[in-house]
Structure 1
Amino acid sequence: MYAHLREQPLARVRPAYGQEAWLATRYADVRQVLSDPRFSLAAAVGRDKPRTGAEAWDQVGLMSLDPPGHTRLRGLMTKEFSARRIDRLADRARHLADQLLDRVVESGPRGDLVGLLAIPLPLTLNCELFGVPSDHSRFRTWLEDTLFGSTVDELTEQPATITTHVSELLALRRGEPGDDLITSLLRAGERGEVTEDELLALVVDLVVAGFVTVAGQITASLYHLLTRPRLLVRLSEQPETIPAAVEELLRYVELLDFTAPRYANEDVELGGALVRAGEPVLTAPAAANRDPAVFPHADHLVLDRSGPPHLGFGHGAHFCLGAHLARLELRVAIETALRRLPGLRLAVPEDALRWRTGGIANSLHELPVAFDVTRSRAIREADRTDGA
C-alpha cells in the first residue's frame, strides 16, 4: 500500500478516530512536513486530531509545542543528551549488557532476547539517567509491564496513572537530589525556567519515548538479523561494521506507524496537492524510509548502505532528542549478543513469533533464541579471567 501511495499525489485518509487528514509517504514530503514551520504541532492541541486511539491526550510536552516554546524546553535537556555525555555511558551500557547476557547463558541453551535484553537494557540505562533509584521497583514494574505492554487506547485512557507515577518520581528526587536528568530539570524549575506542568509533561515524554521505542527497535533489529543468518554471521565476523548496520536497521525497521499530526498554518503545496490552512497532515516515516527514489533497493536490508540520512529519528526541530542514546543502546545490544552468544539463531519457526499490535511501537512479545551454550560459557569465563 505504501508503495502504491508513494506513486500518487498526497493521499486523503480517514483514521479510526478524529478528522480526515492528508498522509505523506514520500521521503521529500515527509521531510518537508517535519521541518517546515508552516506545519504546526501546537495547533493540534484541543482538536479532534486524526489518531489510531480512541482518546486524544493533550499535554504541554515537547510533542505539543512549536518553536520558540519548544526550543526553550528542549534547551534544558540538550546538554544531558549530547554525544559527548552519552559516550560516557558506553562502558556502563556494555557492562550492563554483559550482566544481562550472563543470565541468558546461565539458563541456556535457549533464552528470550525481549525479556532478557531488549527491555531491561534501555529500561535500566534510562532509569539511571533520569534518576530512578534501583530499589524503586514499583516504577520499574509499571514501566516494563504496563507501559511496554499497553495498547495506545489503554495508555490514553490512563493519563492520570502515568502522571501519578511520574509525580511520585519527581517528589522522590526533590527529597533526594542527585546527578541525574530529573534533578537537573527540578533545578531549572526552581530558577523559573520551566513550570510544574511543563516539567511533568517533559518527564512523561522522556520516559515513554525513551524506553518503549528503543526496546522495540532493539527487538525488531535482532529479529531482522536472526531471519537473515548470512548477515548475522557477517556482523559477527566484522563487528567494526555494526555502527553502519545500526543506521540501516533504523531505516529499515518499521517501528512507528505515524508521527503526531501537524496542522497547516497556511495553504501549502505538498506532494502534488494543496493542503489548506487548518488541515492536518500525518507522516509515515516507515514509508519514507523505503522510498526507492532516495534509497536504491529500498526494501532490502543493506548493512553497508550509504547515501541520504534516514528519517528514523525524525527531522527538523523535533529530531529525536535521545538519538545518541538510542544508537548507543542499539549498538551495544547487537555487539554483545553476537559476541556472547555464538551460534545465535531463532529457537522457533519465524511464523511462530507473535507481534504486538496497537502499541506505541511495533515489537514482538518474545524473541526465543538458541545458541552454543558451551562456547558461550567459555567466553564468559575468559571475560571474567581478563577482568580479574
Structure 2
Amino acid sequence: MTSPRQDPLRDPRFFADPYPTYDRLREGCPVQRIPTGSGGREAYLITGHPEAREAFTDPRLSKDTARFFAGLASTRDLHPAISRTMLASDPPAHTRQRRVATPLFTAGRVRELRPYITGVVDDLMSTWRPGTEVDLVADLAVPLPVTVVCELLGVPESDRATLAGWSHDLFDATDTDRVDRASHRIGDHLTRLVDTARATPGDGPLHSFLRGCDDGGLDRDEIVSLAALLLVAGHETTTHFIGNAVLALLRHPEAFDRLCRAPDLIPGALDELLRFDSPVSVATFRHSTEDLRVGGVDIPAGFPVLIAPGAANRDPAVFPGPGRLDLDRDAGGHLSFGHGIHRCPGAPLARAEAEIALRALVTRFPGTRLAGPPESPVWRRTRLTRGLAGLPLALA
C-alpha cells in the first residue's frame, strides 16, 4: 500500500470532481493511509464498497470525537451542540438520542408531511415561467428542506434563512474559523429557542419535540445538540441530493426526458441518483479504538478513519460501469445514507422531498435544460458533502 504525499481530499480538483481521485485511490488499495489537514496528521481512507460497508458496522471504529481529541492540542472552538451530536457519539448515548429522532421520520410521519412538502414546492415554483431562468439551488433545493425541517422542529419563519446561512458555513472546508463561528451561532440560537419554549407552555412542534426528548431522558445539552443535528443534517444533504440529481439528469437528457414522459418512475430512480453523485462524499469522523483489519489492511489503534460513500458508490466491483447513470440499475446497495446504527434516520424524508421536487420539475417544465455548458456548475469547497453552489436552469 502506497500513501499519497498530499492530502487528496483538499486538492481543488477534488472539489470540482472527486471521482478520478477516488478511482485512483481505490485502484491502488481500497483502504489507504493518507495525510489529512495540517500538522502532519494522517488518517485511513476507505474507498471500496465492501470495505466501507464493513467499516460502517465495526464497533471498534468509534464516533466519539471527544474521546479521541481529549488531551490533544487543538485550535478548534466548536460549540458543544455541534461537536457532540448524535453523529459524534457511541452507544448508549447515541442510542438514547436516536430513539428520540427516529419517530420524527417514520414512513407514516413522512406520509403525513407529503401534502405540506407539496405545498412548499408549489409556493417556491409559483413564479417560475417557461422561457425564463431560475437557479435550482437558491430557488428550490435550499429553501425546500430548510422550510420542512424548520417546520418539523417548530423554528420560527423569521429565523430560518439565518440558520440556513450558518449551516452553509459549517461545511466550509477552507476556513475553520468560519466553521467555528457558525457552530456557536447555531448552538447559541437553538439554546435560546429551547429555553424560551421551556418557559412558555404551548402545543406546537417545538414543544412536541421537547416532550419527546424528555421522555427519552435527554438533558438540556443533548436536546440542543439533537436539534442542531436535525436542523443541519436535515436540510444540507437534501439540498445537495436535489441539486446533484437534477444536474445528473440534465447531463443525461435521455434520462431526464424519460422521467418527463413517465414521472411515476421517479421513486425507483432515486437510488441510482443517490449512487451516481452522492450528497455525502466522506462520512463524519471515526477513529479506531483498537487494532483492526479492514480490506486486508491493518489499522492501528488511535487513528482517524474516513469512510467515503461517494467512492464506495462508484466501486466497479459492485456497480458495473459506475460512471454511467442507469435508471434501470438496482442501486439499492448504495451507501449515501450510511449503513448500520448510524444510518441516516431522515432518509425517508429526504427521499420524499427529492421525489416531490423532481416530479414537479419534470411535469411542469419538461423541456428544461441547463442554462450554461454542462461542465460549468460551481461546486462547493467541502469534502464531507458534495453539492452545488448554484445550478442555472432554462425553463421550458
Same-fold call, TM cutoff 0.5: yes
| Structure 2 counterpart of 1:14 | 35
Secondary structure (helix, strand or coil) at the match of 2:155 reads: coil
| Structure 2 counterpart of 1:110 | 133
1:47-126 superposed matches below 5 A? 47=69, 55=76, 57=78, 59-105=83-129, 109-126=132-149
What letter is aligned with 2:166?
T
Aligned residues: 365
What letter is aligned with 1:118?
A
Q: What percent identity do the matched residue pairs reach?
A: 36
Shift of 1:295: 0.8
- CA RMSD of superposed structures (Å): 2.4
What letter is aligned with 1:25?
T
1:197-276 superposed matches below 5 A? 197-276=221-300
Question: Would you say 1:2 and 2:25 are equivalent positions?
Answer: no
| Structure 1 counterpart of 2:315 | 291
Q: Is the 8 A contact 2:88 2:285 kept in 1?
A: no
Secondary structure (helix, strand or coil) at the match of 1:77 reads: helix
What letter is aligned with 1:140?
R
Alpha carbons of structure 1 residues 176 and 366: separation in structure 2 relative to 1, 3 Å: farther
Question: Would you say 1:32 and 2:54 are equivalent positions?
Answer: yes
What letter is aligned with 2:99?
G
Alpha carbons of structure 1 residues 110 and 307: separation in structure 2 relative to 1, 3 Å: closer
Deviation digits for residues 15-45 of structure 1 (CA, Å, limit 9, x no counterpart): 1246311111101111111111121111554
Q: Is the 8 A contact 2:46 2:306 kept in 1?
A: yes
**Worse-superposed segment, 357-366 or 329-338:** 357-366
Secondary structure (helix, strand or coil) at the match of 1:105 reads: coil
| Structure 2 counterpart of 1:378 | none
Alpha carbons of structure 1 residues 189 and 333: separation in structure 2 relative to 1, 3 Å: closer
Alpha carbons of structure 1 residues 294 and 56: separation in structure 2 relative to 1, 3 Å: farther
| Structure 1 counterpart of 2:166 | 146
| Structure 2 counterpart of 1:385 | none
| Structure 2 counterpart of 1:277 | 301
Shift of 1:163: 0.9
| Structure 2 counterpart of 1:382 | none
CA distance in 1, matches of 2:70, 2:321: 38
CA distance in 1, matches of 2:163, 2:129: 25
CA distance in 1, matches of 2:365, 2:301: 55
Q: Is the 8 A contact 1:189 1:196 kept in 2?
A: no
Deviation digits for residues 266-317 of structure 1 (CA, Å, limit 9, x no counterpart): 2211112111222221111100000111111111111121155110000000
Give the TM-score normalised by structure 1: 0.87
| Structure 1 counterpart of 2:366 | 342
Q: Is the 8 A contact 1:60 1:197 kept in 2?
A: no
